[in-house]
Amino acid sequence: MAVELAAVRLLAPSFGTSLVVWTNVLASILLALALGYLLGGRLAAGERSVRRLGWVLLGAAATTAVAPTLARWLIRGLAPPAFALHEATEVILWGSLATALVVFGPPAVLLGSASPLAVDTLAARGGLGAGRAGALVLCAGTIGSLAGVFATTHVLLPALGLAWTFRIAGLVLAAAGFAAFALSRIGGNERALAVSAALIAALVSAESEPAAVGPGGTRLLAAGESQYQSVRIVEQGTGAKRLRFLQVNESFDSFQSVWQPELGLLPEGFYYNDFALPLFWDEARSDWRVLVLGLGGGTALRVLAGVLPEGDQLDVVGIEIDPLVVALARTYLDLDPSKFGARTRAHLVEGLDARAGLRSLETPLDLILLDCYANQVELPPHLVTLEFFAELEERLADGGWVVANLGGFGFEDPIVASVAHTCSVAFGRAVLVLAVPHARNFVLVARRGELPLDVEGVPRSVAGALSARASKARLSAGFRIVVPTDAGLLLTDDCSPSERLQARSLREARARLIGTAQGDPR
Amino acid sequence: MRLPWLVIALLSGDASAPVARQSGVEDWRAQEYATLQEVEPVVRARGLALVYARAGFPTAAWDAAQRGLRSAPDDLALQFHAATSALQLSEASLARQHVDALRAELVRAELTEDLRSEWEASLSELLRNAEDLEKDARSRDRAVSLARWIAIAVLCGAMFALYRLSRGAMAGQGARSGTPGRRAT
């Protein structure tokens, strides 16, 4: 189980941790275990089983310890270094399956074959019946798995990282293998061979870690493993034009947070700028109580603090589920409440899910920013439902706003369309969807009150820093108004198939382009 | 009706001028684009494609260019917009298709020497970008193909091994339990 958990994390930087990757890893390991059980049964040979058990465990130790090195080598050939998200489906599906089979198949076969050998050893040496021997082995194996699961998630991965998690799993297995050898009293030659095999595995697993280069030639500043994901900070550019990105798992061509040296608007193409539109649309309000769900590295907070209109005040609560993200952001992305200026008060809450965090707040809010993603590209199913949007609406003050970031390939994209429809039904009124220029993002704007629409149904312009952005929103390709009576898929707590929608989104994006080229007016 | 500056730029400028040189529309203002609805469809498509491309909406620029190309497949500017938006959307084969079409139309078009050399400069840059994109696409396809073959080969090997081992196990059990007609292997 420890290897299974760490296996998914090992694949994450290249293939992510979506359900497809989990399925491929679990399927590969289950298949290998089935094979291993039969192999173990074939190898079982009464008195000699304990010696064979030693060899099998030593083999499992070696293949486990070298898994990170082997995976890195294999992934170089199977996952091109840079490709856009919509090109990823096939790479993720086949790349993760091939890597899981080749890298985790051998240790799982060997671990599977250990069980019948252990049963046979207990039966032959301890004089136990097959039932009792099997029960003991199953019980010991399950308790070992239990310990491995907890140790991997709570201690090994966060504290020691991936490579050492595999090495330690290898060490434990090697120790068990040598214990079996001790029981079987193997000869000098065999002992020398076993020690040599262990040393070679240790050397291969100790191959140097990858260089400090991030995807696409960016500079890698920091990286770590949290309970939720692989996290890293990369930097590009120099001086005042430096940009730092917080990326998780596979990254592809996307990121979770972005930082520039100055507070305020980011270069065009970053959806965070749109989070500030309500500050300009809603001139009657000057004291803004803001909740950021999915704070990440604090980008939204830095944008808001930097463009805050004269005389306005911000009181922000930012919630981020992953403490490692906050820790890295404090060091590398200036996520420090004292640095946002005198008119901004910020309170950071880490380790809390957005929905649970929302329920813990009682004060009516003027602006809720929703920027939560799981597995990098998937909207968490429980954060796009009718019930959740209804909860958001309840927490809003009169005239309060919700602004949400949605990834998608067009207004007809299944994710964008269904989330906007669901939000519109929950609010019982029209919502606005804005296409972000030069990006694959859409920003959903809902309000407990009238939206800033003029008679033509387009958003009114705003003055100041965001006026150029707002005028682009007036293009017919720049916005869409969704009303509750529009047809659409309603996402609920009971049925929120966001993973399926995500897969459809990736699949249909290209079909829509080709359809237009062939005269389909979609 | 007053013709807004954007329409003036599109109508009065030489429609065959390379898109990069149609600088009159660089500082576009969105409210004026609406009047484009009233002009001739190909000019409107050209204008919309340009506005959307500059605004950062490549999908909309692609759609506008495709609409225009249906009635004017020989239009250089529309082929250019179709190719650039396909490049921005990382669609290698679609980009290549329009770069090739642009090259073919350029051969047929009657242009002054200056205009031709400007178009050719634009074309060679598009071609370079399309080739880069195609190279990436080929390397991605190779990687996917390799992964697929490895996965299928390992799965087939595992299934075969399962079959052989399970047959052996069943035969072994039969022999031990004394089932008539079975032998341990």
Does any CB of chain B come closer than 8 Å to the CB of residue A38? yes
- Check pLDDT > 70 for residue B74: yes
Please report the residues numbered 467 through 506 in chain A whose beta carbons come closer than 8 angstroms to any beta carbon of chain B.
471-472, 474-478
- Check pLDDT > 90 for residue B98: yes
Distance from CA of B118 to the nearest CA of A (A): 26
Residue numbers in A near B56 (CB within 8 A): 268-269, 437-439, 472
The amino acid sitting at A28 is S
- Check pLDDT > 70 for residue B176: no
Q: Is A49 helix (H, G, I), strand (E, B) or coil?
A: helix
Alpha-carbon distance of A312 to A272, in angstroms, equals 19
* Inter-chain touch B52–A475, beta carbons under 8 Å: yes
* Inter-chain touch A80–B60, beta carbons under 8 Å: no
Q: Mention every residue, 6+ apart, whose C-beta is less than 8 A from residue A509.
A: A86, A409, A410, A413
* Inter-chain touch B169–A41, beta carbons under 8 Å: yes
Alpha-carbon distance of A411 to A422, in angstroms, equals 14
Chosen for mutation from B71, B91, B93, B142 (greatest number of chain A CBs closer than 10 Å) is B91
A281, A452 contact by CB (below 8 A):
yes
- Of B4, B179, B52, B90, which Cα lies nearest the Cα of A82? B90
Determine how β-strand A313-320 pairs with β-strand A287-293.
parallel
Quote the pTM value: 0.76
Q: Residue A234's beta-bridge partner residues?
A: A220, A245
Chosen for mutation from B165, B167, B176, B177 (greatest number of chain A CBs closer than 10 Å) is B165
Question: What digits encode the pLDDT tens for the residues A253-300?
Answer: 678 899 999 999 998 889 999 999 999 888 889 999 999 999 999 999
Determine how β-strand A365-370 pairs with β-strand A396-407.
parallel
Q: Which of A56-70, A422-436, B7-21, B56-70 has the lowest mean pLDDT?
A: B7-21
Q: What is the mean pLDDT of each run of 10 residues along chain A (522 residues)?
A: 81 79 92 93 80 89 89 82 65 90 94 90 80 87 85 80 85 87 72 72 61 63 82 87 84 78 90 92 90 94 92 94 93 92 92 86 91 75 93 94 92 92 95 91 93 71 74 82 88 84 78 70 46
Distance from CA of A474 to the nearest CA of B (A): 7
A308, A343 contact by CB (below 8 A):
yes
Q: How confident is the model at residue B183 (pLDDT cuts 50, 70, 90)?
A: very low
- Of A257, A322, A269, A249, which Cα lies nearest the Cα of A88? A249
* Inter-chain touch A39–B165, beta carbons under 8 Å: yes
Q: Which residue of B has its CA nearest to A98?
A: B151
Q: How confident is the model at residue B171 (pLDDT cuts 50, 70, 90)?
A: low
* Inter-chain touch B52–A477, beta carbons under 8 Å: yes
Alpha-carbon distance of A148 to A141, in angstroms, equals 10
Alpha-carbon distance of B104 to B118, in angstroms, equals 16
Alpha-carbon distance of A339 to A122, in angstroms, equals 65
Question: At A415, phi and psi to the nearest 5?
Answer: -70, -50
Q: Is A82 helix (H, G, I), strand (E, B) or coil?
A: coil
Q: How many CB pairs under 8 A join A and B?
A: 123
- Check pLDDT > 80 for residue B125: yes
Of A84, A98, A471, the CB nearest to B150: A98
ipTM over 0.90: no
Question: Residue B51: what pLDDT?
Answer: 85
